[in-house]
Amino acid sequence: MSTFRAVNPHTAEEFGPEIEGATSAQVSEIIEAAHAPLLSPKDRSSLLSNIATAIEADRAAIVDIAMQESGLPEARLNGELTRTVFQINTFAKLVGTGTHLDVKIDKADPNYGMGPRPDIRKQNQPLGTVAIFAASNFPLAFSTAGGDSASALAAGCAVVLKAHPSHPNTTRAVYASIQKGIASSGQPKELFSIIEGNDPHITHWLATHPKITAIGFTGSGGVGKLLMELSAKREVPIPVFAEMGAINPVFVTSSAISERGEGLAKGSVDSALMGSGQFCTKPGLFILPSSSSATFLSEVEKYLATLSVGPLLNKGIADRYSSAISALSKKNDLKVFSGNTAATGIAVAPTFFVADWKVVSSTPELLEEHFGPTTVFAIADEKDFVAIASTLEGQLTATIQGTETDSVKPLFSVLSERAGRVIWNAFPTGVSVTAAMQHGGPWPSSSSHTTSVGTDAMYRFMRPVAYQGLSQENLPEALQDSNPWSVPQEING
Amino acid sequence: MSTFRAVNPHTAEEFGPEIEGATSAQVSEIIEAAHAPLLSPKDRSSLLSNIATAIEADRAAIVDIAMQESGLPEARLNGELTRTVFQINTFAKLVGTGTHLDVKIDKADPNYGMGPRPDIRKQNQPLGTVAIFAASNFPLAFSTAGGDSASALAAGCAVVLKAHPSHPNTTRAVYASIQKGIASSGQPKELFSIIEGNDPHITHWLATHPKITAIGFTGSGGVGKLLMELSAKREVPIPVFAEMGAINPVFVTSSAISERGEGLAKGSVDSALMGSGQFCTKPGLFILPSSSSATFLSEVEKYLATLSVGPLLNKGIADRYSSAISALSKKNDLKVFSGNTAATGIAVAPTFFVADWKVVSSTPELLEEHFGPTTVFAIADEKDFVAIASTLEGQLTATIQGTETDSVKPLFSVLSERAGRVIWNAFPTGVSVTAAMQHGGPWPSSSSHTTSVGTDAMYRFMRPVAYQGLSQENLPEALQDSNPWSVPQEING
């Protein structure tokens, strides 16, 4: 059993209690104990609200420890806590209505078009106990009580969370709040459990345990693919919902540069550096029109030279960043723009790369996601934008910065085939939690066509079950004619 | 390149034209040419209706050739053609409304709870070109124009169909009808293509072609798992929607036997022998209460002794059936009931097995699906039904035959965790095409939580795409405020 302690990115020093990594036996024990009672929509809604309320009540303490462990600024973490609470409450509102059960009732019909039809009723049911892997880069909104956990609890599943070792005490604080919410709802504490540790075996133990029915993951492509392989080898394979990142291309038209070049250049830099460049929606590739890239790039270069970023989240990210940057900086055909190393602790300098699209397209490392304050500016003939777009891999997002005079429909059409979210005249960083949000795109950005943000995220953790010919008293509540839960029922289409 | 001919199961003789198997180059060429134009809901609906109309118009010729190739009776095939046409028309009706696009519009909101929200709109979009593998056992309803093809066309995908070599000329006849429907709608013939041949490599070529975006399959667990492995090894893995069969357990209570034992015994035999026992919903395991199994089983034995079944669909199925039956018949602790070998051609005798649950549960071959006229009767203490149910693998269906006096809620609860459809006082054979139908259950019965029957089947072949901040003219039609396609739009939740 290995132990570890938290690290403060501002000082690179360890602090806080020694944390014991879970053993294989402990992981099993936690999973075996996990269970989620069946609740009415009203009770499930109030469980979620109580969890949200408990997290909000502990805001100051949670934000304080998260600042120490992530190095992120207070305003950002307060915003993230607001988002965390908001998304739990959004699920609470949805499940309170019972809409998520998607009840369809087709009553018996002796004169049905394809032959007599029996009474058939269908609802969504929770998968059981799911494993959620916390992300490092959103220590609140994509971690312990983040979108994946909230959507799984909303679906009616028990959650076993693999805590991210980058913020163990933040995890403990949020876990304590969640347990307050669970206790005040009269529910069992085994509805939500955490597994701590930095031993890579934990991932295997979790993913291969027979009682785990699905996996929610946000992180690197490497670990995402490992989880998929582990699932495929199980006696009973399970769905792996992995959000594995992207380079989120941004196409900039010459008319956009003419109209608002300076602001656009600064906005591009700011978006690439947001969260020290550790967002899964970071624009990692800008495609600039050769006709007007020179002035745009000189704005980027000037502005970047004045900037530094906060420390990276952990030493592992910083090491991978530095080695990628160092390898790329040695290439002859890349221009390099640099910012400053201002932060103490786990500090790095922002480093951007500029090259012709021909060079970029033949340098695979430039088309890969790199966590940290770096991005790529590729210069291309504007009339080749559609052709370039059609060579790109699957993306979480794809953006066009243009003006009303641009004919961008063909480019949007190609991008919508390659991304989960296409964006006009904004930057991809910042993901709103709404019914219409789609966070998840074609491979390799995600492992499935689902979303991990927004209310539709919960449908990942349920499956439809049909009931044929059951008497009213044997039917689940949501499917009964008397509709004791008052859920929406689609009857006979 | 290998050639083959159709076989008439009634005579076991080849007939009809020599059919050339597709080469690797031909498979590629067909896939490369496949394409599906974007259509309005109205136009897509009318395309589907036209296909249905064309198939209906060719009914007599299609049923005639299907009878020769499948050995199934005319009434059954007429019913299957009715179902085929009905399910295409059901999709036509649904897509005509645009409901399947699941449009959600969240307008920009500066006062949104988690911070200002941009305008975000989401719709479902077709995946592209999908590969559908036809099944042998429903030469119409699960083959060329069957549920998988219909749902993929409804979703807006181009279909490349792997024809089943068990009924090549039926496939050609239905393909010709489909092409009439496509032509009368002014659509390109590459919207729907067939690949013929019995070379197992064709499966590999299809599943690994980069342009294929999803796979729909109904068949054996072996091939389903192979398709999943092939997908996982692709540069871009794709979803595999495989329906791989089940043993569809039927629990019979002692009160049901007291109330209607004789009818129940006959009904059980008839359901197991339906389609010569080649339904994926065939009850392959009856669990009988020890208290009253004797009379029930003597009814089964007597009735079966009077029966024979039509020929099996092909020699491969017959060979696998005979070798499984022969191996099982040698086991000492199994009682064997037999029917008669009446059919000429590819003929076998119905063979049922009876044993205590203890024997059945320790004989893996008795808990596997066997295509053909066989099933298993396991005898158990009625108070162990719930415990037995909780040991079963994932199933397409699970049934209880009981009476009003039985307390079956706990048993239904366990079965609903193990099956896609649970049934009361009916038999699992016969699947109605409705909104509430679920045909697909937990692993190993299916590879995903989706359904391959009913209108929800089409959601397998679409993915959601969000559009952020686009101007009205750049938005897809379904997402525009003016709603030119008049589709349902969920606005601001």
CA nearest B239 in A: which residue?
Answer: A448
Beta carbons of A447 and B237 less than 8 Å apart:
yes
Instruction: Give dist(CA B122, CA A436) in Å, integer.
Output: 5
Beta carbons of B442 and A236 less than 8 Å apart:
yes
Beta carbons of B434 and A117 less than 8 Å apart:
yes
Whether residue A157 lies in the annotated active site: no
For the segment A229-281, what is each residue's pLDDT rounded down to a tens digit?
999 999 999 999 999 999 999 999 999 999 999 999 999 999 999 999 999 99
Choose from B250, B449, B453, B461 for mutation: most chain A CBs within 10 A.
B449
Chain B residues within 8 A of A229 when measuring between CB atoms: 232
Q: From the list B114, B127, B424, which residue is nearest A82 (CB)?
A: B114
User: Nearest 5 degrees, angle CA A359-CA A362-CA A364?
Assistant: 115
Does A493 score more than 90 pLDDT?
no
Strand order in the sheet with B129-133: B192-195, B158-162, B129-133, B212-218, B240-243
**Any chain A CB within 8 A of the CB of B99?**
no
Q: Domains of chain A: which residue ranges?
A: 3-244+448-479, 249-424
CA nearest B400 in A: which residue?
Answer: A470
Instruction: Give dist(CA A190, CA A188) in Å, integer.
Output: 5
Beta carbons of B86 and A436 less than 8 Å apart:
no
Chain A residues within 8 A of B473 when measuring between CB atoms: 409
Residues 316-355 of chain B with CB under 8 A from chain A are none
Q: How confident is the model at residue B493 (pLDDT cuts 50, 70, 90)?
A: confident
Amino acid B1: pLDDT: 60
For the segment B76-100, what is each residue's pLDDT rounded down to a tens digit?
999 999 999 999 999 999 999 999 9
Beta carbons of A420 and B464 less than 8 Å apart:
yes
CA nearest B473 in A: which residue?
Answer: A409
For the segment B449-486, what is each residue's pLDDT rounded down to a tens digit?
999 999 999 999 999 999 999 999 999 999 999 999 99
**Any chain A CB within 8 A of the CB of B15?**
no
The residue count of chain B comes to 493
Compute the nearest-CA separation of B253 from chain A (Å): 15
Chain A residues within 8 A of B105 when measuring between CB atoms: 436
Structure tokens at A331: 């290439």
Compute the nearest-CA separation of B37 from chain A (Å): 13
CA nearest B126 in A: which residue?
Answer: A417
Annotate A48-83 with b (16+ C-beta within 10 A) or e (fewer).
bbbbbbbbbebbeebbebbbbbbbbeeebbbbbbbb
Beta carbons of B115 and A436 less than 8 Å apart:
no
- Around Cβ B397, how many Cβ atoms within 10 Å? 29
DSSP state of A235: S
Does A1 score more than 80 pLDDT?
no
CATH number given to A249-424: 3.40.309.10
The amino acid at residue A127 is L
- Around Cβ B347, how many Cβ atoms within 10 Å? 20
Axis-axis angle for helices A201-208, A221-233 (nearest 10): 40
* CA nearest to A84, candidates A136, A164, A180, A149: A149
Q: How confident is the model at residue A337 (pLDDT cuts 50, 70, 90)?
A: very high
Whether residue A243 lies in the annotated active site: yes
Beta carbons of B104 and A237 less than 8 Å apart:
no
Amino acid B343: pLDDT: 80
As beta bridge partners, residue B422 has A467, B398
Residues 392-431 of chain A with CB under 8 A from chain B are 394, 404, 408-409, 412, 416-417, 419-426
Catalytic residue among A243, A299, A301, A369: A243
Beta carbons of A464 and B442 less than 8 Å apart:
no
State the count of interchain CB pairs (< 8 A) between A and B: 200
Q: From the list B114, B232, B443, which residue is nearest A86 (CB)?
A: B114
For the segment B126-175, what is each residue's pLDDT rounded down to a tens digit?
999 999 999 999 999 999 999 999 999 999 999 999 999 999 999 999 99
**Any chain B CB within 8 A of the CB of A7?**
no
Chain A residues within 8 A of B83 when measuring between CB atoms: 114-115
Residue A166 in contact with residue A70, Cβ under 8 Å? yes
For the segment A376-399, what is each residue's pLDDT rounded down to a tens digit?
999 999 999 999 999 999 999 999
For the segment B442-454, what is each residue's pLDDT rounded down to a tens digit?
999 999 999 999 9
Residues 35-74 of chain A with CB under 8 A from chain B are none
Chain A residues within 8 A of B127 when measuring between CB atoms: 449
Instruction: Give dist(CA A278, CA A369) in Å, integer.
Output: 10
Compute the nearest-CA separation of A409 from chain B (Å): 6
Over residues A8-29, mean pLDDT: 97
What does the mean pLDDT of chain A come to? 97
Amino acid A343: pLDDT: 80
Beta carbons of A468 and B229 less than 8 Å apart:
no
Residues 431-460 of chain A with CB under 8 A from chain B are 432-438, 442-444, 447-449, 451, 456
**Any chain B CB within 8 A of the CB of A464?**
yes
Compute the nearest-CA separation of A90 from chain B (Å): 10
**Any chain A CB within 8 A of the CB of B75?**
no
Q: How confident is the model at residue B264 (pLDDT cuts 50, 70, 90)?
A: very high
CATH number given to B3-244+448-479: 3.40.605.10
Beta carbons of A114 and B416 less than 8 Å apart:
no
Over residues A178-187, mean pLDDT: 98
Instruction: Give dist(CA B315, CA B7) in Å, integer.
Output: 9
Does A211 score more than 80 pLDDT?
yes
Compute the nearest-CA separation of A254 from chain B (Å): 18
Instruction: Give dist(CA A72, CA A138) in Å, integer.
Output: 10
Helices in B98-209 by DSSP H: which ranges?
Answer: 147-155, 168-184, 201-208
Q: How far is CA B11 from the centre of its chain?
A: 28
Over residues A92-105, mean pLDDT: 97
Structure tokens at A430: 């910042």
What does the mean pLDDT of chain B come to? 97
- DSSP codes of every residue in A395-445: EEEEEEE--TTS--HHHHHHHHTTEEEEEESS-S-----STT-----STTS
Residues 144-183 of chain B with CB under 8 A from chain A are none
For the segment A435-462, what is each residue's pLDDT rounded down to a tens digit?
999 999 999 999 999 999 999 999 999 9
ipTM value: 0.96
Amino acid A461: pLDDT: 98
Catalytic positions of B are: 243, 280
Chain A residues within 8 A of B126 when measuring between CB atoms: none
Chain B residues within 8 A of A421 when measuring between CB atoms: 120, 465-468
Amino acid B2: pLDDT: 84
Does B70 score more than 70 pLDDT?
yes
Beta carbons of B473 and A409 less than 8 Å apart:
yes
Beta carbons of B432 and A239 less than 8 Å apart:
no
| The dihedral sign for the CA sequence A354, A358, A359, A361 | positive
Instruction: Give dist(CA B44, CA B83) in Å, integer.
Output: 20
